[in-house]
Amino acid sequence: MSLQTKHLSVSYGTAPIIRDFSEPFKTGQVTALIGCNGAGKSTLFKAMAGLSPMKGHLLFAEHLLTAAEQRQHIAYMPQDTDATSSLTVLEVVLLGRLGKLGMRLPTSLVGEATTALQTFGLATLENRTLNEISGGQRQLVYLAQALFRTPKVLLLDEPTAALDLRHQLLVLDRVRTYARDSGACVAIALHDLTLAAQFSDRLIGLKDGLVVAAGTASDVLTQQNLQAMYGIKADISRGPSGKIQVTPLHAV
């Protein structure tokens, strides 16, 4: 079972951003989306989440998703962590289950939201407002919200961009655990290729809205593909765990 895109295309005016994207996102697995700035990663995620117009189709378990089903089943976490809101951290997490919120909140629901915060070590911040916490903490709060929603498909746009090294590892490990435990399809846009290789089951490399390569880390993270996608030379090796490590050397 998987989420499958079929000939998905997105344009801004006459400029094509994503072109004929047809790739599977398997359940229980993490798929990493890699590519340079402007490659189309965020646009692809927004289109898949039903937030921007697209051509083509999206199928889940061979069933064609309607726009409403896209919004219902696919959770998308944007990359920006700006906030001008004085919503509290707990309220933000609760909003993850928007459809279940009424005038009175069940104690069990608040308890679950609190637990979601504890999962990311944020329990002590629950009554702080978004304005009062750091960008990295906001990123963790939004991630807690996305997981609290328990979506069938989770699209994370650079979820580790504002995080320190420790929290990058914590978050990616949590996301991978969620995919495996819940059987959800998880896709993550990442710039750190070593982390992408370490935490994903499959990688898709984009350049100018086209798929350059897709497959396992060893299939995608090659000198040729990195030069095509990023215009760089890199040292590609295997670390102690056997996972691929990429060290950028210079631009070409």
Partner 1 sequence: MSSALNTSDALTEGAAQAAPAQLGYRQLIARRVFWLVAATATLAVLVVADILIGPAFLAGGDVLQALFLPSQASSMVRVIVHDIRLPMTLMAILVGISLGTAGVHMQTILGNPLASPYTLGFSAAAGFGAALAILTGITLPFAPWLTIPLAAFVMCAAAAALVFAFANIRGMSPEIMVLAGIATLFMFQSAQSMVQYLASPEVLQSIVFWLFGSLLKASWNNVPIVAACFVFASLIVLPNLWQLTALRLGDVRAASIGVDVKSLRIKLFAVVALLTASGVAFVGTIGFVGLVAPHIARMLVGEDQRILLPMSALTGAITMTGASVLSKLVSPGGVIPIGIVTALIGVPFLFFLILRGQRRHW
List residues binding partner 1 (CB under 8 A). Answer: 46, 49, 51, 71-72, 75-78, 82-88, 90-92, 95-96, 98-99, 101, 103, 107, 110-111, 114-115, 117-121, 123-124, 126-127, 129, 131-132, 142, 145, 149, 166, 169-170, 173-174, 177
Q: Which two tokens stand for residue 199?
A: 């935490």
Separation of alpha carbons 216 and 76, rounded Å = 24
For the CB of residue 128, give the shortest distance to partner 1 in the complex, in Å: 9
CA 42, distance to chain mean position in Å, is 9
CB of 28 to partner 1, least distance (A): 16
CB of 232 to partner 1, least distance (A): 28
φ, ψ of residue 73 to 5 degrees: the values are -100, -20
Q: What angle do CA 61, 65, 66 make, to 5 degrees?
A: 165
13 or 99: whose CB is closer to partner 1? 99
Phi and psi, residue 228, nearest 5°: -70, -40
Minimum distance, C-beta of residue 92 to partner 1, in the bound complex (Å): 7
Residue whose CB is less far from partner 1, 196 or 212 = 196
Query: What residue has token string 């006459």?
Result: 14
